[in-house]
A and B are shown apart, each in its own frame.
Chain A
Amino acid sequence: AQKVTQAQTEISVVEKEDVTLDCVYETRDTTYYLFWYKQPPSGELVFLIRRNSFDEQNEISGRYSWNFQKSTSSFNFTITASQVVDSAVYFCALIHSYNNAGNMLTFGGGTRLMVKP
């Protein structure tokens, strides 16, 4: 069985602060993929990033960066210089790769980020 845990249910920061959202996962598979999705107040789910289990390089995209550490089963997400528009619920998710016929995403419970002006 696989599991994704986002221990921070809610984080509040002031604009321009950096913030890190934690994600810890459990899986018995050696090959898997990790994702982050953003759910703004309007409710849709927006894909942010996918990482496979063999690629531990950190990734940066603008103000967003992701730190994948297999040794601690973590895939943390940092927003640098946060903005009010970053306010949303962020979900970490995992796919195991036992087949290639369309696999389920296992989501964490989400972290609600509130960025205050």
Chain B
Amino acid sequence: EPEVTQTPSHQVTQMGQEVILRCVPISNHLYFYWYRQILGQKVEFLVSFYNNEISEKSEIFDDQFSVERPDGSNFTLKIRSTKLEDSAMYFCASSDGGLKPQHFGDGTRLSIL
């Protein structure tokens, strides 16, 4: 069964550094998403992306964050200058319709020191 893949599985970064989280969505999906989950808390929406542009973003997704689809297969989340509170599990998801089920990757655990 096709799946969403995320790399790396764990990223440790010093505060203030830039970090890029990578995702390969399911190949025939056109809608892409990032969510995060702070340890022990609920899953929070960050951003959705369709037709090469952001379609929706949350208050969390401020100027420090950006997303990109650099080629036909990858979807990336960049955090420009990381803060301690950015430590979380980041999930990428994709779907084949805007209201269809979103299929999630295994997540990248981001630890900011």
Taking Cβ atoms with an 8 Å cutoff, the residues of A that contact B are 33, 35, 37, 42-47, 50, 91, 93, 95, 97, 99-110
Other-chain residue from B32, B58, B104 in contact with A104 (beta carbon distance below 8 A): B58
Encoded as 1 (CB less than 8 Å from any A CB) or 0, chain B from 71 to 113 comes to: 0000000000000000001010101011111111111000000
Contact across chains for B51 and A101 when beta carbons are under 8 A apart = yes
Task: Flag if A47 contacts B55 (CB, 8 Å).
Answer: no
- A28 and B44 CA atoms in complex are apart in Å by 20
Summarize B's interface: helix, strand, loop or mixed: strand
Q: Which residues of B contact A100 (CB under 8 A)?
A: 97-99
- Pick the residue among A47, A91, A93, A97 that contacts B103 (CB under 8 A): A47
When the two chains form their complex, are residues A33 and B99 in contact, meaning their CB atoms are under 8 A apart?
Answer: yes
Contact A103 B98 (CB under 8 A): yes
Contact A103–B99 (Cβ < 8 Å): yes
Task: Specify the chain A residue showing the minimal Cβ separation from B109.
Answer: A43
Q: How far is the CA of A91 from the CA of B35 in the complex (A)?
A: 14
Asked whether B44 lies within 8 Å of A103 as measured between CB atoms, the reply is no
Measured between beta carbons, the chain A residues less than 8 angstroms from B103 are 47
Report whether B98 and A99 are in contact in the complex, using a CB–CB cutoff of 8 Å.
yes
